[in-house]
Structure 1
Amino acid sequence: MSSRLHLPRHASSRWELLSPPLVSFLLVLLCQFAIAAVPRLFPSFPLFAMLPIAGVAMVATLGTGRCCRRLLGISGSAPAFVLFSTLFLWGFYIFVIREAIPPLVDATVNIQCVLLMFGFYRILSSDPGVVTYGGSHVEGVGDCASSEAKMQTQDALQFKRVRYCQRCSANILGFDHHCPAFGNCVGRKNHRLFLALLIGFIINEASYVSCSTWFIRESLNKNTIKLKNHLLMDLAAGTLLFSLLQILWQVIFLFWHIYCICFNIKTDEWMNWKKYPEFQVAVLPHPGQPTSEVKFWNPYDKGVVGNISDFLRSK
């Protein structure tokens, strides 16, 4: 009886382990082929007109993933989706697009992909700056003294910008945000790695856009066999649209982080500044105004040069 009960638990645990990457892989295929249908259905549309349609197709695909989670109880993994999407583009480049690319450019693109995979692994396994509240520093002290010491420690850590991440159930030093795409928090210890990886994705996708455009142009000019294979040509145009969509939101996100660095403010602090007392300053009420007004004030701002220097020197 015990063995019969034990086997389903093993099967269930294996399925729980394999289902998120499997769902993510299927979503990547569905997303890429859905976007590839856009140039097939609207061949006369210019590229800028195809972009919003491709965006709708991508959102609809991600909505399918949410439906699977609600109806079937299985969901994908955002880091797995990012990984499989990158591998799909890289694989399509190697087997289809690279034949039209000069050797030096081809080597550069492949080196970019290898570095991107290495950076992706690093961000997944990196320590964002997890802070643990150990009890060794208060051992042998009475309950009141222990409680007071713990409160003082928490106050000191709060001043050092330790924030709590609900997704990870951990206190993170210099917490900026929890990144679902990388499956990790972005904190003081890995913020520079996150920024470098974000720039790496933009450069890699921009290179892919350039190479896929080159491939499509060469195929049209030479009337090659690839041009007669409608699926390959649609996938080439679809992956180009997908990369452009990725670049659009990533560039906006990059500018946001550059802004935050220049003014020494974290994303979480900007969005939830009313939760943190150090960002609140009371303004005396005007005549006839019943209560004082609370406004935002950044106590960590050291000027643009000082803020950038502080970010670059952070460990």
Structure 2
Amino acid sequence: MANNIPSWLNNVPPGGTFSAENPYEARASTSGSPPVVVQQPPPAEPLILPADVLEMHDRIDFVRNRIIRQSHFVATLGFRLRPNYQVKDIEELLYEAGALKRDTKLTPDDLKSEQLAAWLREFNLYLPGSPALLPTGNLPPRVASRTIQIPSRLGYTSPTITSFLMHHLTPLFPGHPEYPEPGERCSICYDPYSAAHEPILITNCSRCRGHMFGYICLRKWISSGRTGFNQCPVCRTMWFRKRRYELRRIERQWREIEEREEEAIRREEEAFGVAMVGLREDMLRTRARRVLVEGVLVAGGVAGWALRSGAEWFRRGLGY
């Protein structure tokens, strides 16, 4: 019976089988020629990672996918993007933290940016080139939540810029108990306060209490958009959360206000001629005071200072 065994079987390694698990595969041709022996690659070693790390990598992909999507939308749509889809910077994502669980059925399109931030610090531990921010064992619990959880870093929840302008600024004028002493200077421009450089006080802010600035200086500070524009220049307390789309709306409104102010002054100078030049300082003083006292948010939620025409204020001062 052994004589009936084809000679080509001698090429099969000792102990070999014809199962799929064998690294060698012997195949006979239908023409009777010797079979082709194919060397299979060795099986890859399984990637063994702790369960928490595997779960974390899933969430890395989840967050990265959302950020890439939003970046693409911003690049293609630009300023026409709706505010809810604005891409937030890393600092704000870390600040407005939510929570996700591994087996969530929610897709990136179903979630807000704030809800993707709970795991961002932990993700940075495994993202290429990112420094370790937190120990690997300090992972949050596996809890799913649609509620935005904002930590109280500063002892209070930082408001929006609109809320800050409405509730955290107090204009000061002579006679107010908090009005600065003669010679006291603005912390931004270091010029003394005057009738044309009216002070404004930060209030209702637990860690930025009693700080005072010139109204125009503060307006320029906030609208600059530079690093720290949402923080106190003195103590660096965060006044409000960064929302670029909101800041752009405020900047447009403030520019319109400044243009109306200058146009009103120009018309008055043309109307009153030389007499107006001597009264310009009085007009500026009256205007600045009314801006501070009657500073409000205009309708529609756009932040700005509602100004009346300079001509009207000037005529009131002259008794017209």
What's the TM-score once normalised by structure 1's chain length? 0.21
Which one has the bigger helix percentage? 1
* RCO higher in structure (CA 8 A, sep ≥6): 1
